[in-house]
Amino acid sequence: MRACAALLILLVAGPANAQTQLLHQERSLYRNIFVTQDDNERCISFRYPLGKGRQSCKLLDEPRKLIFHYTRMLLSAALFLNPNPRRILVIGEGGGTIPVALQEMFPGAEMDVVELDKAVDSVARAYFDFKPGPKTRVHIADGRMFVKRMAARKPNYDLVILDAFEADYIPEHMLTREFLQEVKANMAPGGVIVANTFSDSALYDHESVTYRAVFGPYFNLKQANRIILGRRDGIKPDDLATARKNAAELEGELGARGISSQSLVALLDPDTDWDTGARILTDQYSPSNLLNALPGR
């Protein structure tokens, strides 16, 4: 009972309780950035002192652990269908959580990390121990521009992670059919795409049909956030079995990062649970932020 009350207080007070220190704040070209710290938890946030808007956090005494659901889901979903990526593209650096984990797990993999906001990259390096390894390159660029330029060089990524969306702002030019087609043109045959997206607004149907139009059938992974897990040319009939097998093999390595891959793989859902008649988002029609502000069905 007392534990419940304590938890309740923690939830209500959020990270803005008395112990929260503000380590750093700056106004970048795109947003306000705050780095806050509780005794053991350091977070990068785009809003302060509200608890919402935390982008990424790490535990100081267990820095390898991923503590946000969506980062756990992104990382494990990525590896369910491609447990040994060689050429990786990450769009949206945030606190560097995903790139740090990937370069530790796959030191031989080539990785391009694209971040629009130079200040976010600086914060990731200064406060979140993001040190790009010898095969990791950070590009300060618009994700869409990067992908468009890269396509000519045929990079053949076998893993693409899209994590450029915040709860309250979507770069609309990066949620269109044309953008996803450009991403697809950068991928190797059978390459895997994972995207951190939205689940509870009117945008859901539109986003779903847009991904479907470009990547064919894919898996949903939902737990507050929604992760889309697909392949360049659609998931294969035996991919669920493949994912389960890989999840079992990854249990140890992901477990060390605080992720239960077995319980996450059980959430993979290949079903179509959206209105297939919804309008596809295109460069001509992309009011994603307005749609995201409207209630879902």
Backbone angles phi, psi at 33, to 5 degrees: -125, 130
Footprint of another protein on residues 188-247 (CB under 8 A)?
none
How many CB atoms sit inside 10 A of residue 3's CB? 7
Instruction: Tell me, by CB under 8 A, how many residues bind another protein.
Output: 22
Which of 41, 142, 253, 269 forms a contact with another protein (CB under 8 A)?
A: 142
Footprint of another protein on residues 153-192 (CB under 8 A)?
171-173, 176, 178-179
Question: What whole-number distance in Å separates Cα of residue 42 and Cα of residue 223?
Answer: 23
**Minimum CB separation from another protein for residue 175, in Å?**
11
3-state secondary structure of 46: coil
Residue 260, classified by CB atoms within 10 Å of its CB into exposed (0-12), middle (13-18) or buried (19+), is middle
Nearer Cβ to another protein, position 145 or 241? Answer: 145
Which of 30, 168, 255, 275 forms a contact with another protein (CB under 8 A)?
A: 30
Question: What whole-number distance in Å separates Cα of residue 221 and Cα of residue 232?
Answer: 18
Which of 29, 61, 271, 277 forms a contact with another protein (CB under 8 A)?
A: 29
**Minimum CB separation from another protein for residue 169, in Å?**
11
Catalytic residue annotation: 163
Which of 72, 144, 226, 257 forms a contact with another protein (CB under 8 A)?
A: 144
Footprint of another protein on residues 270-289 (CB under 8 A)?
282-287
**Minimum CB separation from another protein for residue 90, in Å?**
18
| 290 makes contact with another protein (CB under 8 A) | yes
Question: What whole-number distance in Å separates Cα of residue 209 and Cα of residue 44?
Answer: 32
Is residue 46 within 8 Å of residue 34, measured between CB atoms? yes
Edge-first strand listing for the sheet containing 157-162: 136-140, 110-115, 87-91, 157-162, 187-197, 225-231, 219-223
Nearer Cβ to another protein, position 276 or 284? Answer: 284
Site string for another protein, 83-122 (x = CB under 8 A): ---------------------------------x------
Nearer Cβ to another protein, position 40 or 282? Answer: 282
Question: What whole-number distance in Å separates Cα of residue 167 and Cα of residue 156?
Answer: 30
DSSP 8-class letter at 235: -
Is residue 61 within 8 Å of residue 37, measured between CB atoms? no
Nearer Cβ to another protein, position 58 or 177? Answer: 177
Q: Can you give the binding site for another protein, defined by CB under 8 A? A: 29-30, 116, 142, 144-145, 148-149, 171-173, 176, 178-179, 282-287, 290-291
